[in-house]
């Protein structure tokens, strides 16, 4: 990796570092384009998984905007939409009928910037392809590939710790 230091032995540190690199590109884009997007992606059903919630909670992050709702509940309720890779989540025809993701509050994701949900972070929307230069899209694809590898490392570490079941 050119100029970047990997934290060998700590997959979560790699995961968080790559998330921060992705946020440098995503944040200005989302600030400019998401408020007026006709096909928003931060809607129900969400791409948030219980593992995403667990990672955030493990850093003492809280979701006070959820009130008395268990922070895992929304992630579990949409788990069926994430059973296969490449599943496109449904989009409503009329943006006014869309329900926002439960983890959004005041038009902002409530996860820590370096622990955003994996499925959300790896999703490049059509407006990104329209508005970002090709070299930026290519950089995002490289970072997403690295994030996927780091995510697999995190999942493997969780399985090895006995905190996550082995895959069948």
**47 burial via Cβ count (<10 Å: 0-12, 13-18, 19+):** buried
Range 84-91 average pLDDT: 48
The pTM (predicted TM-score) of the whole model is 0.81
Q: What share of the chain is helix, strand, coil (3-state, %, to 5)?
A: 55, 5, 45
User: 89-146: per-residue pLDDT in tens?
Assistant: 445 455 556 788 999 998 889 999 999 999 999 999 999 999 999 999 999 999 999 9
User: 32-57: per-residue pLDDT in tens?
Assistant: 998 888 888 888 878 899 999 999 99
- Answer whether 70's CB lies under 8 Å from 98's CB: no
């Amino acid at each position: 990796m050119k100029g970047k230091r990997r934290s060998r032995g700590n997959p979560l540190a790699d995961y968080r570092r790559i998330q921060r690199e992705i946020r440098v590109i995503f944040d200005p884009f989302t600030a400019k384009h998401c408020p007026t997007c006709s096909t928003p992606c931060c809607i129900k059903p969400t791409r948030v998984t219980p593992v995403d919630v667990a990672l955030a909670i493990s850093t003492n992050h809280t979701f006070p905007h959820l009130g008395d709702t268990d922070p895992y509940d929304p992630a579990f309720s949409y788990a069926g939409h994430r059973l296969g890779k490449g599943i496109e989540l449904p989009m409503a025809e009329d943006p006014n009928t869309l329900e926002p993701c439960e983890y959004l509050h005041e038009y902002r994701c409530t996860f820590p910037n370096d622990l955003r949900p994996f499925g959300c972070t790896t999703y490049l929307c059509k407006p990104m392809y329209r508005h970002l230069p090709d070299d930026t899209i290519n950089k995002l694809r490289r970072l997403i590939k690295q994030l996927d590898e780091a995510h697999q490392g995190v999942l493997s570490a969780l399985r090895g710790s006995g905190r996550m079941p082995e895959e069948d």
